[in-house]
Amino acid sequence: MSSKEKPTLGGTRIKTRKRNIAAPLDPAAFADAVVQIYLENVGDLELVARNIESSDLNFSRYGDTFFEVVFTGGRTQPGTIKPDEGERHPYSIIECEAKREAIFPSVSYIQKILRRRPFLIKNLENVMRRLLQSLELFEENERKKLAIFTALAFSQKLSGLPPETVFQPLLKDNLVAKGLVLSFITDFFKEYLVDNSLEDLISILKRGKMEDNLLDFFPSAKRSAEGFSEHFTKAGLVPLVEYNEKKLFEVKLKEMKSALTTQIAEESEISEVIENVKQRVKDAKLPDIEVVRILWDVIMDAVQWSGKNQQQNANAALRQVKTWAKLLNSFCTSGKLELELMYKVQMQCYEDAKLMKLFPDIVRSLYDQDVLAEDTILHWFRKGTNPKGRQTFVKALEPFVNWLEEAEEEE
């Protein structure tokens, strides 16, 4: 026999990569499982949370479905809040009483779930956005429950829920036009302010980019400062009304200051500037004291200062006072307003080192231009109440005051 080995068919082994075969989506089975946990624990959210935490349900895939069950008791049809097929439970946020003590346990429950599974915050955002965009499909009482939940969620700082998730979806034209958004946001404000300050509320509005756009929540027919004040005063939210009025006031002052700055920089005719200021004061109902303060700020801001050259700075400041004295004179129409102007000059000279020594020269120039009366200057000298730099300025002004008193005696 031959010792030669017979050929064999060993072949070549080819390694094949194992593929992850995705399981088919089955949100219905997931929803039914969550609903069953609610039913088995008779809505006791402590027990529900404990059972959910120990379950092996796929929350990363069905996060939206989970929050649909939490808010409405079961699955909802795509793009709507109408119930879908499947089991439901009666312990949802929509089904409980429209009271904070009834809804608060749901907020605490969600907070526990999010601590264990923080990735679900995105799913909460998705579902809240969808619910808020569908406000018209809810009953009035159900909308109030959503408002209370939202307020409590922010009050409890629900795991980083961003304010824009709430405020931006509300700005749908049809919801605003029907007054549904205004009603919702009013309930939200009232509930939030039970446990939080107005400053906290303003902070949330800022983060939600709504602080300057609160009127966007109002139907167009009511979208005015008067409409805002009337509505929220009736709702018992007077601090919010006062805050808004103050903000509007600051905006009007800023607008007037901006327009005045432009006119002075362009060296417009004084008569034209006076007319413009008078019209703005009338339209915005600005207090005379604020007008005097703004006038002085704008006039002095327009001075071209010259570094460390004290004499040039003095000349420039006094020249500016003389140029715009008629403007100041038009609005310093009483002893009280003249005194306010003196306090304004005092504060600026105190705060700006290059003006510190100019106080008596500026006062003298304002007197020469008939902006400040003798009685006003003497009153400030003898009874002035602003302590900032007063001792220094009184001493500097003393020679001029002595001159005024001597002139008065001669007369």
pLDDT for residue 19: 43
Residue 66 CA, chain-centre distance (Å), reads 32
Q: Are 366 and 328 in contact (CB under 8 A)?
A: yes
Please compute Rg for the chain using Cα positions. 36
Q: Which of 2-6, 89-93, 276-280, 389-393 has the lowest mean pLDDT?
A: 2-6
Domains plus CATH for the chain? 27-237 (1.25.40), 246-410 (1.25.40.180)
Average pLDDT, the chain: 88
The residue type at 103: I
Instruction: Give the span between the Cα atoms of 30 and 58, in whole angstroms.
Output: 8
Examine the pLDDT at 98 and tell me if it is beyond 80. yes
Instruction: Give the span between the Cα atoms of 76 and 367, in whole angstroms.
Output: 78
pLDDT for residue 14: 53
Each residue's pLDDT tens digit, 225-281: 999 999 999 999 999 999 999 988 888 899 999 999 999 989 899 999 999 999 989
Q: Which token pair is 369?
A: 């231009």
Instruction: Give the span between the Cα atoms of 217 and 167, in whole angstroms.
Output: 9
Each residue's pLDDT tens digit, 53-63: 888 899 999 99
Share of the chain above pLDDT 70, in %: 91
Examine the pLDDT at 11 and tell me if it is beyond 60. no
Instruction: Give the span between the Cα atoms of 218 and 185, in whole angstroms.
Output: 10
Residues belonging to the chain: 411
Q: At 309, is the pLDDT very low, low, confident or very high (cuts 50, 70, 90)?
A: confident
Instruction: Give the span between the Cα atoms of 168 and 186, in whole angstroms.
Output: 16
Q: Are 369 and 322 in contact (CB under 8 A)?
A: yes
Q: Which token pair is 107?
A: 């907020």
Instruction: Give the span between the Cα atoms of 140 and 348, in whole angstroms.
Output: 56
Half-sphere exposure of residue 298: CA atoms within 13 angstroms, side-chain side: 27
Instruction: Give the span between the Cα atoms of 316 and 325, in whole angstroms.
Output: 14
Residue with tokens 């303003």: 202
Q: Are 74 and 86 in contact (CB under 8 A)?
A: yes
Examine the pLDDT at 116 and tell me if it is beyond 70. yes
* Secondary structure of the chain in HEC code, one letter for each residue: CCCCCCCCCCCCCCCCCCCCCCCCCCHHHHHHHHHHHHHHCCCCHHHHHHHHHHCCCCHHHHHHHHHHHHHHCCCECCCCCCECCCCCCCCCCCCCCCCHHHHHHHHHHHHHHHHHCHHHHHHHHHHHHHHHCCHHHCCHHHHHHHHHHHHHHHHCCCCCCCCHHHHHHHCCHHHHHCCHHHHHHHHHHHHHHHHCCHHHHHHHHHHCCCCCCHHHHCCHHHCCHHHHHHHHHHCCCHHHHHHHHHHHHHHHHHHHHHHHHHHHHCCCCHHHHHHHHHHHHHHHCCCHHHHHHHHHHHHHHCCCCCCCCHHHHHHHHHHHHHHCHHHHHHHCCCHHHHHHHHHHHHHHHHHCHHHHHHHHHHHHHHHHCCCCCHHHHHHHHHHCCCCCCHHHHHHHHHHHHHHHHHHHHHC
Instruction: Give the span between the Cα atoms of 376 and 364, in whole angstroms.
Output: 12
Longest dimension (CA), the chain: 156
What is the CA angle 197-148-27, rounded to 5?
A: 135
Q: pTM value?
A: 0.74
Q: Compute the average pLDDT of residues 285-301.
A: 92
Instruction: Give the span between the Cα atoms of 215 and 122, in whole angstroms.
Output: 29
pLDDT for residue 319: 92
